[in-house]
A and B are shown apart, each in its own frame.
Chain A
Amino acid sequence: MSDDKKIGVVRFLGTNCDQDVFDALENIEGLTPVWLWYENKFDVHKFDGVVVPGGFSYGDYLRSGALASKMSVMDSVEEFAEIGKPVLGICNGFQVLCERNLLPGALLKNKNLKFIDKWVSLKNNVSEGLWSLGDETLNLPVAHGDGCYYVSEEHLAALKDNDQIWLTYDENPNGSVDDIAGVLNAKKNVAGLMPHPERAVAPWMGSVSGSVLIQRFLNS
């Protein structure tokens, strides 16, 4: 227990996937989740990983993730990322990390303007490092209105050159450039994706691909 990796789970006003993420982490031997409240900074040296879960922080007001990205807890998340520790942003958490400039790009409204709730299959494009997920297809659910990933053409080329395009959809559900579902930062310790790994952690859920992804924190 005391050797467990301590993983912080960030809660903003309007986060709603927090308990699912917490449970998913708790069910993996070797990981102990700890809540991180949006108003408080935390001691970055006391944690081994941080997850920013999905939901609708601040009701998606202004832009998805924009207001949450300015909260005190994000000052610590930024410091945590700067010292090279692993951060995972899921769905709204991905949007928050982009708005905080911890990840490249931005997430726009889905191309068809609809909220999309479905299972998708994903390909891992990163061959090494903490967030590399091997050759197998990952099956995860998506549930989002603003999941259309955007970067300028110039920036996209740079992401490709630097192996920062982490996950791609087999069938693009939302209009994302180059079918991008998840990206990494330049240092490869911060990862963000639109699909929900915490909703695919047991066979009865339909897939265990999410456990594979969350277990990466064990290697941190």
Chain B
Amino acid sequence: MSDKKIYEIKILPKKEVLDSQGRATQKVLEKGGFSLSKCSVGRYIEVESSESIEAIKKMANYVLYNPLIEDIDVQLKSTNG
């Protein structure tokens, strides 16, 4: 049976990479009186598929993230029978 599964893929800039968006956002938050020591801005992707998590990771490696500059986390979010 091919269950429909929803996978969530979170992508963030690597620590050593200049995250201009994160830095700019952090500055605005600090200016607004919020206390934080870091803010990273990345991408969130959802994929609906009956494939295994390994297949989704392959998919992510194909084009969804660039390992030179980004880190990735792939998780199964929900399963709909």
Chain A residues proximal to chain B, CB less than 8 Å: 62-63, 66-67, 69-70, 99, 105-106, 108-113, 148, 150-152, 175
Pair count A-B, CB < 8 A? 39
CB A148 to nearest CB in B, in angstroms, measures 7
- The prevalent SS among residues of A at the interface is loop
Q: Which size class do B's interface residues fall under? A: 10 to 19
A-B contact pairs, 11 of them (CB 8 A): A62-B43, A66-B66, A99-B66, A106-B69, A108-B17, A109-B21, A113-B21, A148-B18, A150-B69, A152-B68, A175-B18
Scan residues 4-29 of chain B and give those whose CB is less than 8 A from a CB of chain A.
16-18, 20-21, 24
Q: Does B20 lie within 8 Å of A63, measured CB to CB?
A: no
CB B71 to nearest CB in A, in angstroms, measures 14
Contact of B63 among A67, A106, A109, A113 (CB under 8 A): A67
Chain B residues proximal to chain A, CB less than 8 Å: 16-18, 20-21, 24, 43, 62-64, 66, 68-69
CB A174 to nearest CB in B, in angstroms, measures 10
Taken together as a complex, chains A and B put the C-alpha atoms of A124 and B38 apart, in Å, by 38
User: Could you say which residues of chain A place their CB within 8 Å of the CB of B66?
Assistant: 63, 66, 99, 106
CB B52 to nearest CB in A, in angstroms, measures 22
User: Could you say which residues of chain A place their CB within 8 Å of the CB of B21?
Assistant: 109, 113
- Which B-chain residue is minimally distant from A67 (CB atoms)? B63
- Which B-chain residue is minimally distant from A104 (CB atoms)? B68
CB A2 to nearest CB in B, in angstroms, measures 40
Taken together as a complex, chains A and B put the C-alpha atoms of A88 and B63 apart, in Å, by 22
Contact of A62 among B16, B63, B68 (CB under 8 A): B63
Taken together as a complex, chains A and B put the C-alpha atoms of A175 and B20 apart, in Å, by 10
User: Could you say which residues of chain A place their CB within 8 Å of the CB of B16?
Assistant: 152
CB A78 to nearest CB in B, in angstroms, measures 15
Contact of A105 among B43, B62, B63, B68 (CB under 8 A): B68
- Which B-chain residue is minimally distant from A66 (CB atoms)? B63
Taken together as a complex, chains A and B put the C-alpha atoms of A150 and B43 apart, in Å, by 19
- 9 residue pairs, one from A and one from B, having the closest CB atoms: A106-B69, A106-B68, A109-B20, A113-B20, A106-B66, A66-B63, A111-B20, A70-B63, A113-B24
User: Could you say which residues of chain B place their CB within 8 Å of the CB of A150?
Assistant: 17-18, 68-69
CB B56 to nearest CB in A, in angstroms, measures 16
Taken together as a complex, chains A and B put the C-alpha atoms of A110 and B63 apart, in Å, by 22
- Which B-chain residue is minimally distant from A63 (CB atoms)? B66
Contact of A110 among B20, B43, B62 (CB under 8 A): B20
CB A183 to nearest CB in B, in angstroms, measures 13
- Which A-chain residue is minimally distant from B43 (CB atoms)? A62
